[in-house]
Each structure stands twice: as C-alpha cells, then as structure tokens.
Amino acid sequence: MNPLVELLLDGGSLSTAQMAQVLKLSEAELNSQLEALKKEGVLLGFRPVLNLSNEETGVVRAVIEVRITPERGGGFNRLAERISRFDEVESCYLMSGGYDLLVFVNGASLQRVAAFVSEKLSTIEGVLSTATHFMLRAYKEHGFMLGGKVVESERLKVSP
C-alpha cells in the first residue's frame, strides 16, 4: 500500500506536519502527495466524526432498502448513480439478498425524508419498491463508540 494511504488509515488525527515527520517528507512534499491522491480519486476528502445528538444537528437519518429493475447493458449502475446524486443521500450500496440498493439518507425532518422517498425516490422509473427505516439512536460511528464518557484506559505510566 502507498505509505501515505497506510498512514491516513492508521495515524488517525495526525496533523500534516506530523504526517510529514512520520514519512520523512517536507510538509510541501506531503501536501503535494495528498493532492496527487485527490487527483487520482483515491482521497475524496476528510470528515470529522462527531458525537452530536439529533437535536443538536437537526438531522433525521434513515436507511432505505430499494428494489430496482436492472437494465440491459448497465445492470444496476445507472439507476444507482442517479439515486446517489441526490444531496439527501449519504451513502448508497448495491447489496446481495432481498433488495438491491441500501441507501442512507438524511434530511432536516421526518417530513423531508418522507417527502424525498415518496416524491423523488419511488417515482424514478425502474424503482420497484422502497422500505424506509428511521434511525433512532447511534451507538457506534465509523469505528468510534458514541455512548457515555470517554474512559482513559488506566495504563500505568511506567511498568517493567
């Protein structure tokens, strides 16, 4: 693996200056490598993982199971991409099993999300059915536990 990609995965929240130290690069070199990764379409961006309540963010999230008709030549791709382009859609995956697409959406309110499903999503030619599940509470997000306080693990400062 590209050492920078490896470090991005492993090094968590290092600053660019710190990443440069680890990889023995100047900060300028590091930035140009980051740029290169973006150009190649490998690095798409950074997002913080926040632990905020729904009231604070004012966001309602839902998962929608979508069944669609595959097309000759394109399979599921054209429709999947079309659905993915909506701003409301956070992520979209092609799945095996009882439905075809799993779509994660968010909206400012329950009504907005419901409207998105009934007016946009299900009216698309080729969408056969949708089943919408609203998320009530998050327990783990992108590898981080959300509940409760952060407890420092109590490692002794010096041990043999």
Q: Which residues bind other proteins (CB under 8 A)?
A: 6-7, 10-14, 18, 21-22, 24, 153, 155-160
Shortest distance, position 97 Cβ to other proteins, whole Å: 25
Shortest distance, position 4 Cβ to other proteins, whole Å: 12
Say if CB 22 and CB 10 are below 8 A apart: no
Instruction: Report the residue number, 136 or 156, with the smaller CB distance to other proteins.
Output: 156
Say if CB 66 and CB 121 are below 8 A apart: yes
Q: In what helix (H) or strand (E) does residue 64 lie, and over which residues does it extend?
A: strand 60-68
From first CA to last CA, the distance across the chain in angstroms is 35
For residue 146, what are its two tokens?
Answer: 């959300």
Within 10 Å of residue 70's Cβ, how many Cβ atoms?
13
What's the rounded Cα separation, in Å, for the pair 14 and 85?
A: 31
Shortest distance, position 18 Cβ to other proteins, whole Å: 4
Instruction: Report the residue number, 85 or 157, with the smaller CB distance to other proteins.
Output: 157
Shortest distance, position 19 Cβ to other proteins, whole Å: 9
Instruction: Report the residue number, 72 or 155, with the smaller CB distance to other proteins.
Output: 155
Instruction: Report the residue number, 123 or 153, with the smaller CB distance to other proteins.
Output: 153
For residue 160, what are its two tokens?
Answer: 């043999």
